[in-house]
Chain A
C-alpha cells in the first residue's frame, strides 16, 4: 500500500518536474507568465516531500513489503536511527537529495528581484536537474519496489550509521551544500543565454553560493568529528574517496566566493568556470561514490547508477563548455581603487590575492581529483589497480594548503588604503616568533611547524584587521558612513576558523602519541601523558547486537577514571563496529579503542592514544561555517534596524547600486584544508 503510493508519488514528481522545466523554458523564451511555472515548481516539491514522508512512514511502520525497508529497516533499531535510515542507503538518500533539490528550486522560484530572463533560464536549469534525478529515482533506484515474500524483519541500516547522532545532521547538511551549488551553476549557465540581463548573474548567484558553502563547511566538519568518534582509529580525515568528493566542490566554491564580487570585473570567464566546476564536481563526486567505481570505507552502497550519472556529468560539462564559450556580458567597470579601466589590478591588492589563492585552490582540487580517480586510471594504463594513500596528499596538498594560508594572511595589507606592506610587520613577527619558539622547544616536523607559523600569521592579521575596522567604525559613525552590515566581520571570522583548523590539524598530527598491544587483566598500557590498566572484560547482548566491553582504569592529566571501549557485533549485517572511549580535555583527548578480545576474556588488544589539540578542529570548523552563514545572511537580508542612529541606508547587496564592504570584504576564507595525515605524524 505505502509502496504503491510511494511509486505513484515518484511518477507524479517526474511528471511535475518535466512540466516545470518546460514551463520555465517557456517563460525564458517567450516571456510567458511565470505563475504556472511557480505552481509546478511547488508541486514538484510536494511530490518529493510526499515520497520522503511515505518512505519514512514505511520505515517507522516496519512495512517490510517495501524493498528499502526490507534492506535497511529493522524492528530492533531505535526510532531515531529508523528515521535517519532514510538516507542510510542509496535509494532512500536519493529521495532526500530530491527533497533538498526541489526545496532549492522552490526557494529560487519565489525570488522575484532577479532579472526575469536570467531567473527563468536559471530555473529551467535547476528544473532539468530535478527531472534527471526524479527519473533516476523512479526508474533505476525506486526504493518502493515490492518484495515477495515479505520478510518478518530486516537487518537494520549499516551498523556504522546507527552509532552516532550526527547521522541525523551530517548527510542533510552535505546535501544542502552540494545542491545549493546547483543554483550558482544554474545562474552561470543562464547568464550567457539571458543576454544583457545576464550581466548581474554574479550578484544573484553569490548569496546562494555563500549559503551552500556554509552548509558544506558545516557538513564536512561534522563528518570529520563523526569519523573521529566512530571509526575507532582516532582519525578525522583519511583522504578517502567519499571525503575527497566533498572536499572538491568546497575548494572550487571557496575560490568562486572570493572572486565573485562586483570588483571581479574582467573575470567573467573565470567565475563562470568556477561556478560550473563546483557543481560538476558535485555530480562527479556523486558518480564516483555511488557507482562503486572506487572503493571506500564510506561507500554504503553499490548501485547500477554509475553509467547514468557519468552520462549526466558529461552532459553538464558539455552544456557548460558550450555556454561558457559564448561571451558573458560584463557589468560596466566602476572607477575605483581596484578596478581602474586603464590598468589591471596592482600587484598588491585584494584582487591579486584572491586570484593567487584561487589558482592555489584549483591546484589543490586538481591534486585531490587525480588522487581520487587514480585507481580508475591506473588499471587501464598499467595493469595493477593502484590507489594513492595519504603520503601522496601530504607531499602535494599540504604545502599548497600552507601557501594558501600565507596568502590569506596578507589580508590586512591588501585591504589597507595605504602602506599595505607595513601592516604585515606585526603578523610576520608573530609568525616568526611562533616558529622559533615552537621549533626550539619541540620537534613537530617541518610541515607542522610551517603550518603553526602560517596560522599565527593569519590569526594576528585577522586580529589587527578587526581592531582597525572597529577603530574606523568609531571614526565614521558620526558621519553615518555605510559600513554596518552583519556580514562585515564574517570573512574575518571564517579566516580565523580556517587558521584554527590548521593549528588543530598540525598539532594533532605532530604531537599525537599512541600505543597498541595485547594487555592481560591487570596489565597497564602506557603512552606519554596517559596510561590504561585493564580491569576486566564483559560481554552483553541486547536487541540485535552483541557487545564486548573492556573496562580500563585510565590515568591521565584529568585524574583517574574508568572507561569502557567496546566492540559491537551486528549479526543482522555480520559486521563488527568499534566503539571507542574518548575522554575530551581542554587541550587533548585521550582515546581508547578495543580491537580484539581473547576468547577466554583474560586479555584484550587495546589501542591507547593521546590526541592533542583536536578540539581546535571542531571549534575552527564551527567558526568557519558560522562565518559563511553570517556572510550569507548579510548579503541576502536588508537590514531593518540601523545600527547607529545616523545610518539608515539599507545595505543588502542586491539593493545597492555599488558594492560596499559587506560584499567585497566579508568573504569566507580560503581553504586551510584539513590536509595533514590524519593520525600519524606529518613530514
Chain B
C-alpha cells in the first residue's frame, strides 16, 4: 500500500506544479488585452448615466475612445493617458476617483466579514437552552403574551397593542398622503462632468489632428445639449475645413440671424460663399474687414479680397 500512497503523493505534486506553472504564466496578465479598452473602462462617460467610456454608445464616448486609441498609438502608457484626461476635464472624468471617502470601500466589507464571521462562530457554539430573554425598553407592538396553554388572554396589554397598531397603520397612510403633497419631481442633477465641455474639448483635439469631419460631429453633439453661438461658430469653421461649405454657410447664417455683426460669423459666411463661388462673397468679407480690422485672420482676408479684385 505504501507505493500507492507514494504514487498518489507524486501525482498530486505533479498536478500542483503544473497548475502553478499555468497560473504563473497567466500572472503577467491575459493575452489580447486591449489597452484602449482598459483605459476607457476607467473613464466615465460624461454624457450618459453611469456608464464607462468603454461601454457607452454615445458619440462623446466614441470620440474619447478615439482619443485614447490615438495616444496608445503614440506609445503613451495608461497612467499618462489618464493624467491627460484629468488635466483637461477634472478628476470627475475618472470612473474610480474615490476621494476622501475611499477607505469606506474597504472598511465596510472588512467589517461585514468580521461581523458575519463572529455571528457565524457564535451559532456554532451551542448556547444554554434556557437563556433569559433580552429585556427591551421598548416592547414592539403586538405584545400579546400568550398564556402557557397557547391561548391569548385579551388583557389590557393586548388591547393597547391593538390600539397602537391600528393608529400606526392609519398614521402610515396619513404620513404618505401628507408627504406626497409636499414633494416635487426632482430636477435634473448636475452632471458629474459637463458633457458640453468635454465634447468641445474633444472637438478641438480633433481639429488639431485635422479630422474636421469628426470634430464637426462632436460640435453638433455639444450643440444638442447647449445651443450656444460660440459653439455653432466653431462648428461652422469645422464644416468649412471639412469641405462642407453649404453646412458652414447654414451654421454661420444661423449665428448672424441672432448677431448680425458677429465678425467670426461674417468670416465663415464669406469664406463659405467664396468656396461656393457665390458673388456675395466679396461683399461679406469686406463687411468683416470693416467690423474687425484687428482680427487675426484680417491680413489673410485682405489678401484674398485684393486678389479677387
Give A330-365 as 1s and 0s: 1 = Cβ < 8 Å from B's Cβ atoms: 000100000001111100000110011011001101
Interfacial chain B residues near A366, Cβ < 8 Å:
108-109, 111-113
Cβ of A643 under 8 Å from chain B: no
Cβ of B25 under 8 Å from chain A: yes
Q: How far is the CB of B6 from chain A (nearest CB, A)?
A: 15
Interfacial chain A residues near B91, Cβ < 8 Å:
384, 386
Tell whether, in the assembled complex, residue B15 and residue A429 are in contact, meaning their CB atoms are under 8 Å apart. yes
Interfacial chain B residues near A439, Cβ < 8 Å:
19, 21-26
Tell whether, in the assembled complex, residue B138 and residue A363 are in contact, meaning their CB atoms are under 8 Å apart. no
Interfacial chain B residues near A514, Cβ < 8 Å:
34, 37
- Contacting residues of chain B (121-166) with chain A, CB-CB under 8 angstroms: 123-127, 129, 131, 133-134, 136, 138, 140, 142-146, 150-152, 154, 158, 161-162, 165-166
Tell whether, in the assembled complex, residue B177 and residue A446 are in contact, meaning their CB atoms are under 8 Å apart. no
Pick from A297, A596, A683: contact of B51, CB under 8 Å? A297
Tell whether, in the assembled complex, residue A344 and residue B18 are in contact, meaning their CB atoms are under 8 Å apart. no
Give A164-192 as 1s and 0s: 1 = Cβ < 8 Å from B's Cβ atoms: 00000000000000000000000000000
Q: How far is the CB of A26 from chain B (nearest CB, A)?
A: 7
Which candidate, B55-63, B194-202, B228-236, B281-289, is the interface stretch facing chain A? B55-63
Cβ of A440 under 8 Å from chain B: yes
Q: With CB as the reference atom, state the residue of chain B lying closest to A385.
A: B192
Tell whether, in the assembled complex, residue B41 and residue A390 are in contact, meaning their CB atoms are under 8 Å apart. yes
Interfacial chain A residues near B41, Cβ < 8 Å:
389-391, 677, 680
Cβ of B48 under 8 Å from chain A: yes
Interfacial chain A residues near B124, Cβ < 8 Å:
266, 344-345, 351-352, 355
With contact pairs A356-B120, A439-B25 given, residues A307 and B183 touching in the complex (Cβ less than 8 Å): yes
Q: How far is the CB of B269 from chain A (nearest CB, A)?
A: 21
Give A280-308 as 1s and 0s: 1 = Cβ < 8 Å from B's Cβ atoms: 00000000000010111101001111111
Cβ of A25 under 8 Å from chain B: yes
With contact pairs A131-B172, A605-B62 given, residues A266 and B30 touching in the complex (Cβ less than 8 Å): no
Tell whether, in the assembled complex, residue A388 and residue B105 are in contact, meaning their CB atoms are under 8 Å apart. yes
Q: How many A-B residue pairs have CB under 8 A?
A: 335
Chain A count of residues within 8 A CB distance of the other chain: 132
Cβ of B307 under 8 Å from chain A: no
- Contacting residues of chain A (129-169) with chain B, CB-CB under 8 angstroms: 131-132, 135-136, 139-140
Interfacial chain B residues near A25, Cβ < 8 Å:
142, 162, 165-166, 169
Cβ of A528 under 8 Å from chain B: yes
Tell whether, in the assembled complex, residue B30 and residue A443 are in contact, meaning their CB atoms are under 8 Å apart. yes
Q: With CB as the reference atom, state the residue of chain A lying closest to B161.
A: A29
How far apart sit A128 and B125, CA to CA, in the bound complex (Å)?
36
Cβ of A235 under 8 Å from chain B: yes
Interface size class of B (residues with CB under 8 A): 35 or more
Cβ of A543 under 8 Å from chain B: no
Pick from B8, B38, B183: contact of A140, CB under 8 Å? B183
Which candidate, A14-22, A46-54, A405-413, A545-553, is the interface stretch facing chain B? A14-22
Tell whether, in the assembled complex, residue B15 and residue A382 are in contact, meaning their CB atoms are under 8 Å apart. no
Cβ of A233 under 8 Å from chain B: yes
Cβ of A445 under 8 Å from chain B: yes
Cβ of A193 under 8 Å from chain B: yes
Cβ of A219 under 8 Å from chain B: no
Tell whether, in the assembled complex, residue A29 and residue B55 are in contact, meaning their CB atoms are under 8 Å apart. no
Tell whether, in the assembled complex, residue A435 and residue B120 are in contact, meaning their CB atoms are under 8 Å apart. no
Give A390-412 as 1s and 0s: 1 = Cβ < 8 Å from B's Cβ atoms: 11100010000000000000000
With contact pairs A429-B12, A595-B62 given, residues A322 and B136 touching in the complex (Cβ less than 8 Å): yes
Pick from A18, A31, A128: contact of B152, CB under 8 Å? A31
Which candidate, B93-101, B249-257, B270-278, is the interface stretch facing chain A? B93-101
How far apart sit A21 and B166, CA to CA, in the bound complex (Å)?
9
Tell whether, in the assembled complex, residue A292 and residue B22 are in contact, meaning their CB atoms are under 8 Å apart. no
Cβ of B28 under 8 Å from chain A: yes
Tell whether, in the assembled complex, residue A374 and residue B49 are in contact, meaning their CB atoms are under 8 Å apart. no
Name 27 interchain pairs, CB-CB below 8 A, sorted by A.
A21-B169, A25-B169, A30-B162, A117-B146, A139-B177, A140-B183, A195-B146, A238-B51, A266-B125, A297-B49, A311-B175, A326-B133, A345-B124, A359-B113, A359-B117, A367-B109, A381-B101, A382-B100, A388-B95, A390-B95, A433-B19, A435-B22, A439-B26, A440-B18, A440-B21, A450-B23, A605-B62
* 6 nearest CB pairs, A to B: A439-B22, A366-B112, A436-B18, A389-B95, A382-B100, A445-B30
